């Protein structure tokens, strides 16, 4: 079961609604230890399909048994995700939710710990849960079995506690394959990062991951096609994570001044929307532009090109900028630390901030400016 520990890196985008980022077609199973667990509809469909198929060929009992084993497998995956989530919690990192997809589980952590030791513990906690389950069930069977009763039942099948143990052992070992961004790859990254450079550690872990991803695809061609899917997952995941790590490192130590746009168009609250439309503002600037609104030498709000367009549509040309602007703003200084500023904006779901020095507007911190500073389009994580 491949799965990933997702982290958020969309620092400037307003926080999307939880349901939107998790995707539609997910249903809440429940909430345990303060974490919501969801299941994707395709998984339920898969459960019904395999249950029916087994039921049609082997009778109702076989169908139920098939469903029970799939539920046991995914229960093990959920416990695995809880391993990550609870380990992260011990480092003060929260988890948004856990979602079960047919391809595996995803625990969406708010962040990954930056210290290699902590990352290693969080990454290893998932597979360790499966190893522990395997050990407990194997031991339980051994202790409870009557004298003379071996590992196999009368029908020559492995006893169910041992089957469950083997399944969890497989899950644990499989996730330890060092294919970043799978758990084993994160452990590899953490180990490499103890040598000092987190970005280089990530790049190397991603390279190892991509070599293994190619191996999965080739193995998938001759064997289980699921391996090809896993190969694609690892290939793209490795690239995205390596890019995110490089950008994160760029953000550290940077100041607002380095990412702010110095060219911006200042609007007055009393400008009519029709007038703006007539001035034929540069459409590329309008594409995702955010404008400061000034009155009497003070910044009184910001307004996005989108809000201006919507305002023109709803209020007509006689509407004012004041009617559509956002008054809840966060003014920042050029010397402010960039990553902390972006976090603060994110926390208040603000898209941009006016940059003010000595009472004077000197720049705008916008998503586009930040993306340009970080070299390329912004990575948006689910």
Considering only 71-79, 112-120, 182-190, 232-240, which stretch makes contact with Zn ion by CB under 5 A? Answer: 182-190
Q: Which helix (H) or strand (E) holds 6?
A: strand 4-6
For the bound state, the minimum distance from the C-beta of residue 296 to Zn ion, rounded and expressed in Å, comes to 56
Q: Total binding residues for Zn ion by CB under 5 A?
A: 2
For the bound state, the minimum distance from the C-beta of residue 79 to Zn ion, rounded and expressed in Å, comes to 11
Phi-psi category of residue 367: left, alpha or beta, with phi > 0 → left and psi -120 to 50 → alpha: alpha
For the bound state, the minimum distance from the C-beta of residue 187 to Zn ion, rounded and expressed in Å, comes to 10
Q: Are 308 and 316 in contact (CB under 8 A)?
A: no
Rounded Cα distance between 358 and 207, Å, is 48
Q: Are strands 4-6 and 104-109 parallel, antiparallel or unpaired?
A: parallel
For the bound state, the minimum distance from the C-beta of residue 326 to Zn ion, rounded and expressed in Å, comes to 40
Residue found by looking up tokens 């389009």 in the block: 377
Considering only 123-131, 212-220, 286-294, 322-330, which stretch makes contact with Zn ion by CB under 5 A? Answer: 123-131
Residue among 126 and 289 whose Cβ is closer to Zn ion: 126
Residue among 63 and 127 whose Cβ is closer to Zn ion: 127
Rounded Cα distance between 80 and 107, Å, is 9
Rounded Cα distance between 38 and 7, Å, is 17
Q: Which residue is closest to Zn ion by CB?
A: 126
- Nearest one of 94, 91, 96, 128 to 113, comparing CA atoms: 91
Considering only 176-184, 252-260, 332-340, 361-369, which stretch makes contact with Zn ion by CB under 5 A? Answer: 176-184
For the bound state, the minimum distance from the C-beta of residue 345 to Zn ion, rounded and expressed in Å, comes to 31
Instruction: Indicate if the alpha-carbon torsion angle 248, 250, 252, 254 is positive or negative.
Output: negative
Considering only 52-60, 124-132, 253-261, 304-312, which stretch makes contact with Zn ion by CB under 5 A? Answer: 124-132
Residue among 80 and 141 whose Cβ is closer to Zn ion: 80
| Residues in Cβ contact with 235 at an 8 Å cutoff, skipping those fewer than 6 apart | 209, 210, 213, 214, 217
Considering only 179-187, 191-199, 207-215, 351-359, which stretch makes contact with Zn ion by CB under 5 A? Answer: 179-187
Which positions from 125 to 144 touch Zn ion by CB under 5 A, shown as an x/- string? -x------------------
Q: How many CB atoms lie within 10 A of CB 25?
A: 13
Residues linked to residue 23 through DSSP beta bridges, in sequence order:
none
For the bound state, the minimum distance from the C-beta of residue 92 to Zn ion, rounded and expressed in Å, comes to 20
Q: Are 382 and 107 in contact (CB under 8 A)?
A: no
Residue among 87 and 254 whose Cβ is closer to Zn ion: 87
Instruction: Indicate if the alpha-carbon torsion angle 180, 182, 185, 190 is positive or negative.
Output: positive
Residues 306-325 that bind Zn ion (CB under 5 A): none
Which of 10, 97, 183, 336 touches Zn ion by CB under 5 A? 183
119 binds Zn ion, rule: CB under 5 A: no
Phi-psi category of residue 339: left, alpha or beta, with phi > 0 → left and psi -120 to 50 → alpha: alpha
For the bound state, the minimum distance from the C-beta of residue 84 to Zn ion, rounded and expressed in Å, comes to 5
- Nearest one of 368, 380, 376, 350 to 284, comparing CA atoms: 368
Considering only 95-103, 120-128, 307-315, 323-331, which stretch makes contact with Zn ion by CB under 5 A? Answer: 120-128
For the bound state, the minimum distance from the C-beta of residue 203 to Zn ion, rounded and expressed in Å, comes to 22
Residue among 72 and 331 whose Cβ is closer to Zn ion: 72
For the bound state, the minimum distance from the C-beta of residue 83 to Zn ion, rounded and expressed in Å, comes to 7
Considering only 181-189, 247-255, 296-304, 361-369, which stretch makes contact with Zn ion by CB under 5 A? Answer: 181-189
Q: Using CB under 5 A, list all residues that contact Zn ion.
A: 126, 183
């Amino acid at each position: 079961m491949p799965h990933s520990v997702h982290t958020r890196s969309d620092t400037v985008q307003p926080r999307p609604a939880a349901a939107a980022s998790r995707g539609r077609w997910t249903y809440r199973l429940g909430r345990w230890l303060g974490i919501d667990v969801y299941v994707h509809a395709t998984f339920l469909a898969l459960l019904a399909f395999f249950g029916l198929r087994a039921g049609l060929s082997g009778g109702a009992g076989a169908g139920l048994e098939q469903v029970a084993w799939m539920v046991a497998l995914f229960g093990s995956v959920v416990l695995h995700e809880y391993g990550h989530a609870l380990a992260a919690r011990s480092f003060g990192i929260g988890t948004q939710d856990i979602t079960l997809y047919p391809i595996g589980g995803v625990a969406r952590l708010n962040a990954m710990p930056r210290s290699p030791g902590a990352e290693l513990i969080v990454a290893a906690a998932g597979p360790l849960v499966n190893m522990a389950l395997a050990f407990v069930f194997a031991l339980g069977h051994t202790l409870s079995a009557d004298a003379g009763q071996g590992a196999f039942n009368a029908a020559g099948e492995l006893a169910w506690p041992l089957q469950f143990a083997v399944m969890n052992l497989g899950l644990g070992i499989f996730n330890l394959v060092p294919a970043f961004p799978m758990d084993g790859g994160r452990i590899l990254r953490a180990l490499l990062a103890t040598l000092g450079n987190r970005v280089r550690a990530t790049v190397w872990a991603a390279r190892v991951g991509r070599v293994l991803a190619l191996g999965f695809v080739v193995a998938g061609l001759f064997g289980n096609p699921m391996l090809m899917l896993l190969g694609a997952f690892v290939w793209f995941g490795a690239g995205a994570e390596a890019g995110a790590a490089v950008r994160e490192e760029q953000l550290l130590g940077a100041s607002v001044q380095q990412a702010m746009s110095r060219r911006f168009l200042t609007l007055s609250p009393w400008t009519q929307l029709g007038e703006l439309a007539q001035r034929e503002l540069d459409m590329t600037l309008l594409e995702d532009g955010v404008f400061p609104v000034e009155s009497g030498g003070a910044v009184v709000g910001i307004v996005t090109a989108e809000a201006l367009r919507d305002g023109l549509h709803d209020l007509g040309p006689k509407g004012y900028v004041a009617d559509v602007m956002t008054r809840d703003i966060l003014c920042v200084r050029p010397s402010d630390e960039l990553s902390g500023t972006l976090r603060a904006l994110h926390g208040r779901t603000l898209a941009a901030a006016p940059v003010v020095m000595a009472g004077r507007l000197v720049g705008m911190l916008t998503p586009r400016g930040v993306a340009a500073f970080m070299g390329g389009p912004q990575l948006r994580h689910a």
